[in-house]
Structure 1
Amino acid sequence: MSRRAVVIGAGLAGMLAAAVLSRAGADEVVVLDRDELPEGPEHRKGLPQGRHAHLLMAGGMDAMEELLPGVRPRKRLLAAGAHEIPLNSGMLALTSEGWLRRWRREGPVMVTCSRALVDWVVRSAVREQTAVEIRKAAVVGLAGSASRVRGVRIAAPGGDTDLEADLVVDASGRGTRIVSWLDGLGLSGVQERAVDSGLVNASRVYRVPDGAERFPLTIVQADPYASRPARSAMVMPIEGGRWLVSCGGSRGGEPPADPEGFLAYTLALPDPIVGRLISGAQPLTDVHLSRSTSNVRRYLERMPRWPEGLVVLGDALTTFNPAYGHGMSVAAFGARVLDRELARGGMGAPGLARRVVRGAAHAADPAWSMAVGQDVLYPGVRGGAPGAGDRVVTAYTRRMTRAATGSYAAASAIWDVTSLRTPPGRMFRPDALLAAAVGSPLPPSTEPPLTPGEREVLRGLDRTGV
């Protein structure tokens, strides 16, 4: 008997899910997307955050390697110009507690490139390795009943049409209409939570100046403990000999869209290093703004009834403030849950859809806790306030961050957790607890930990006189 799977959304979550379904034995896998997909690594309308900085953390990269066996997505990304950044030595990071030192030891590595390149590499690999079909179409609803979804409803000029499917995966991203679609099936009462700090992202691409090709990824982080709006900036190397420079500001501290204001914003941060770097670099684009940044969680796993044949993954399930760089990794974790459940019982296994939704929600928990736990601390946040438990965790996290400015044990614990390579419990292992209790054995650094050569590069680029 022929089995068809339909995936809504051709972004990262959707294409990874399509690869999993094809490998699991679906006779036909159809991916539906509203956009006309580009033939290369180019921005598209359906990814509102696509022009801003994206970090592919070690945990997410490992999951992608597992989901695309034989493809080697890491190797493909690097061959296309992406960069590997060791968190312990290849990054300059000013935290709320001071500059993190750089350590010449092994540790987690993240991959940096444009979001368009990630999507294009994965989409190309899936097309090469599978018989997945991608169609331009707008899904307007689900076909079926409260007990089983049997396909999707597609908008058409002569009237909506149904495309039958044995399994439907909603990976349509931030703009998902899953709540109203479920309501149309008679499944109402979805619990939702939105935590919105009002973050605005502003990004601009620059050509990397001659001699600065090996300059570290540089980030001035927001300070959630200062009782003022978040303000941050990052210089991130991407493919094509370019820097992607992203600024982020929460409600009351938003970055501007004009070039002069953009530069002034970076120079007004607690350290002006980002502004000093880009003041001597050639801009390649205008400044692009985005306000689609709130954390949104749909607690679908709590529904008393869940239909067979419907899975929800990626941003359609849980959406994160992009400042924390976890969205792509969590999308890969959800697809990995689908992969493992399909391996256990196949597409027709009773309860498959519910198990996948629950597993994907569980996989999103650590990233959700990290994002919301920080966002609720900023003034003017909507949708939450820190409780007693949050304050205890915040106090410990701050102490750990302070220790990490001069303690490798503390820094290593933070890198392991933020890279999504290990669960948050890593922060409470004996070595981490001891590091937090002892604190930094070195005095805080008031200057970024640059090598002599990097200092020379910075001086040569600086046109600000700061």
Structure 2
Amino acid sequence: MSQRPTGAVVLGGSLSGMLAARALAPYAGRVTVVERDALPTGPRPRRGLPQARHAHQLWSGGARALEELLPGVTDRLRRAGAHRLPVTTDMVVLSPQGWYRRWDESHGMLLCTRDLLDATVRALVCADERIEVVEHAEALGLGCPDGTVTGVRVRVGDAPERTLRAGLVVDATGRASRTPRWLAELGLPAPRTRRVDAGVVYASRLYRAPEGARDGFPVVNVQLDPRSRGPGRGGVLLPVEDGRWLVTLYGTRGGEPTTDAGDFERYARRELRHPVIGELLAGAEPLGDVSITRTTANRRHFYERMPGWPENLVVLGDALAAFNPVYGHGMSVAAQSALALRSVLGRSGWHAPELARSAQRAVARPAGAAWELAVGQDVFFPGAAQGGPSLRERLSAAYVGRLAYTATGNGRVARRVTDVMALERGAHILLAPSVLTAAAAGPLKPELSGPPLTKREREAAGMPL
């Protein structure tokens, strides 16, 4: 391993790939990002990222990792119009167990469009002279003599195929990753893979918020209920830059929203468990058409558990684990995974034996935490997973449901729950004796009868008091 060449290649130029390149640059010396599309200049749509049209959020655990990788990025995003909202102070959330109260701040949430976030990160990463982006390039396969990855075969445009030599190759190509096929070509067994698909369809639309609600308005989230016998339906309203609201509606099989702009507000008002989002949209101005996405399944490759793993290959982002976007964890996991990759390099050094194996295990940890949160809910929808939920998942869901119910009227438990949801701490904290005792006792305050919007917020949005 002392002969490991300098330089790294990152496959994929989306958020995961850019952050991985940033993490690698101080150790690899030079990093080449291979991107099949042309990357836009500024906050504009990217061809290969249709999910960018839907609601995104960066939980505080992800925002902190992003800031560690790119110091100053948070201030830059906020100057461009991104909002930092305190959790749960500026959140109006109907959970399956009832309305949450707006407790004192425990964590934060960074909100903006995906286009703005990607453009800001891309500009900072590409300003690093050690990082080069090759566009219109397709990765064809790995250079892998004797089980060690030494580079990647690529074709740029119509040019002949060539090989980019690298001491480390990172696959950040998302759901379309070819790594399972490449591993098979190397004679390695298929990784254990699990897919949980609740059949969720997302429909999103931008709105100009009412003038008085363009600054300081809370997130409004009507969650679906996995316990219901029929299709699950939900929606979220996020304040984003330029005085706009980004609204995403979603439903499982049999309850899907459509691309019909005329039906969007009807769905929000009549199909969700509470009409608050539809009521808010009555005073807002629609901007553009409805965007729809059907690729929302949870899917994870357990590469870290494979008995054999090729030297010099790491897989992260959606190529490793893709989540139902409703939980808002994908971008946070991307940032935490890139930070985990950097930590392994800093601790072990570029020439460490089995560096890729160590890195693969490290990036699997944040992905695994988000995976448990997503699958623990989605597995209960009909047809989501072969065999349905396991006994462990049933027991875990029952306890988490009890915690969520307790959190509607207990601020201390609500903070512990948001510790986990914000990817700040592991789920083990929910088994602390004090939390177990509180869950057994239940909520300390009575159930709220409606959304906890303030009088000022209702007035600003044009809602009846």
State whether residues 56 and 329 of structure 1, in contact with CA within 8 Å, keep that contact through their aligned partners in structure 2.
Answer: yes
Distance in 1, matches of 2:204 and 2:382, equals 23
Question: Residues 20-169 of structure 1 correspond to what in structure 2 (within 5 A)?
Answer: 20-24=23-27, 26-68=28-70, 71-103=71-103, 105-136=104-135, 137-145=137-145, 147-156=147-156, 157=158, 159-169=160-170
Query: What letter matches 1:388 in structure 2?
Result: L
Question: 3-state SS of the aligned residue for 2:289?
Answer: coil
Which residue is 1:225 aligned to? Answer: 227
- The alpha carbon displacement at 1:134 in A equals 0.5
**Runs of 5+ consecutive residues of structure 1 not aligned to the other structure:** none
1:400 to 400, 403, 413: 403
Residues 87 and 106 (structure 1), Cα distance of their counterparts in 2 relative to 1, 3 Å cut: closer
- The alpha carbon displacement at 1:185 in A equals 2.2
- The alpha carbon displacement at 1:408 in A equals 0.4
CA shift digits 1:17-57 (9 cap, x unpaired): 11111122x23211010110010111112223111111101
Query: What letter matches 2:105 in structure 1?
Result: E
2:239 to 227, 237, 240: 237
Query: What letter matches 2:328 in structure 1?
Result: G
- The alpha carbon displacement at 1:130 in A equals 4.2
Distance in 2, matches of 1:161 and 1:128, equals 26
Distance in 1, matches of 2:126 and 2:159, equals 30
- The alpha carbon displacement at 1:383 in A equals 3.8
Which residue is 1:182 aligned to? Answer: 183
Residues 158 and 217 (structure 1), Cα distance of their counterparts in 2 relative to 1, 3 Å cut: closer
Question: Residues 217-296 of structure 1 correspond to what in structure 2 (within 5 A)?
Answer: 217-268=219-270, 269-296=272-299
Which residue is 1:195 aligned to? Answer: 196
Distance in 1, matches of 2:415 and 2:441, equals 15
- The alpha carbon displacement at 1:440 in A equals 1.3
- The alpha carbon displacement at 1:60 in A equals 0.7
Query: What letter matches 2:346 in structure 1?
Result: A
- The alpha carbon displacement at 1:158 in A equals 5.0
Question: 3-state SS of the aligned residue for 2:419?
Answer: helix
2:323 aligned with 1:320: yes
- The alpha carbon displacement at 1:232 in A equals 0.5
Distance in 1, matches of 2:22 and 2:101, equals 40
- The alpha carbon displacement at 1:344 in A equals 2.1
Aligned residue pairs total 458
- The alpha carbon displacement at 1:128 in A equals 2.2
Query: Identity of aligned pairs, percent?
Result: 46
Distance in 1, matches of 2:278 and 2:414, equals 26
Which residue is 1:374 aligned to? Answer: 377
Superposition TM-score, scaled by structure 2 size: 0.95
Which residue is 2:300 aligned to? Answer: 297
Distance in 2, matches of 1:47 and 1:371, equals 21
Distance in 2, matches of 1:280 and 1:259, equals 16
Residues 327 and 146 (structure 1), Cα distance of their counterparts in 2 relative to 1, 3 Å cut: farther
CA shift digits 1:357-414 (9 cap, x unpaired): 1111122111101101100111232445112221111111111111111110121111
Distance in 1, matches of 2:393 and 2:181, equals 32
Residues 78 and 135 (structure 1), Cα distance of their counterparts in 2 relative to 1, 3 Å cut: same
Distance in 1, matches of 2:129 and 2:426, equals 33
Distance in 2, matches of 1:141 and 1:126, equals 25
State whether residues 308 and 354 of structure 1, in contact with CA within 8 Å, keep that contact through their aligned partners in structure 2.
Answer: yes
2:310 to 307, 310, 313: 307
State whether residues 409 and 431 of structure 1, in contact with CA within 8 Å, keep that contact through their aligned partners in structure 2.
Answer: no
- The alpha carbon displacement at 1:10 in A equals 0.9
CA shift digits 1:263-307 (9 cap, x unpaired): 111112111010111122111110000011111111111222111
- The alpha carbon displacement at 1:431 in A equals 2.9
Which portions of structure 1, spanning 4 or more consecutive aligned residues, are displaced by more than 4 angstroms? none
Distance in 1, matches of 2:366 and 2:146, equals 25
Q: Which moved more, 1:91-100 or 1:157-166?
A: 157-166
Question: 3-state SS of the aligned residue for 2:22?
Answer: helix
Distance in 2, matches of 1:118 and 1:291, equals 23
State whether residues 376 and 384 of structure 1, in contact with CA within 8 Å, keep that contact through their aligned partners in structure 2.
Answer: no
Query: What letter matches 2:170 in structure 1?
Result: V
Which residue is 1:19 aligned to? Answer: 22
**Runs of 5+ consecutive residues of structure 2 not aligned to the other structure:** none
CA shift digits 1:285-332 (9 cap, x unpaired): 100000111111111112221111111111111111111111111111
Question: 3-state SS of the aligned residue for 1:449?
Answer: coil
Question: Residues 194-213 of structure 1 correspond to what in structure 2 (within 5 A)?
Answer: 194-213=195-214
State whether residues 146 and 185 of structure 1, in contact with CA within 8 Å, keep that contact through their aligned partners in structure 2.
Answer: no
State whether residues 33 and 134 of structure 2, in contact with CA within 8 Å, keep that contact through their aligned partners in structure 1.
Answer: yes
Distance in 2, matches of 1:130 and 1:217, equals 38
State whether residues 8 and 33 of structure 1, in contact with CA within 8 Å, keep that contact through their aligned partners in structure 2.
Answer: yes
State whether residues 95 and 223 of structure 2, in contact with CA within 8 Å, keep that contact through their aligned partners in structure 1.
Answer: yes
Question: 3-state SS of the aligned residue for 1:284?
Answer: strand
State whether residues 114 and 239 of structure 1, in contact with CA within 8 Å, keep that contact through their aligned partners in structure 2.
Answer: yes
State whether residues 193 and 383 of structure 1, in contact with CA within 8 Å, keep that contact through their aligned partners in structure 2.
Answer: no
Which residue is 2:417 aligned to? Answer: 414
Aligned CA-pair RMSD: 1.7
Distance in 2, matches of 1:10 and 1:117, equals 15
Q: Which moved more, 1:410-419 or 1:138-147?
A: 138-147
State whether residues 77 and 117 of structure 2, in contact with CA within 8 Å, keep that contact through their aligned partners in structure 1.
Answer: yes
Query: What letter matches 2:356 in structure 1?
Result: A
State whether residues 224 and 273 of structure 2, in contact with CA within 8 Å, keep that contact through their aligned partners in structure 1.
Answer: no
Superposition TM-score, scaled by structure 1 size: 0.95
CA shift digits 1:80-108 (9 cap, x unpaired): 111111112101001111111112x2311
Residues 50 and 146 (structure 1), Cα distance of their counterparts in 2 relative to 1, 3 Å cut: farther
- The alpha carbon displacement at 1:184 in A equals 2.1
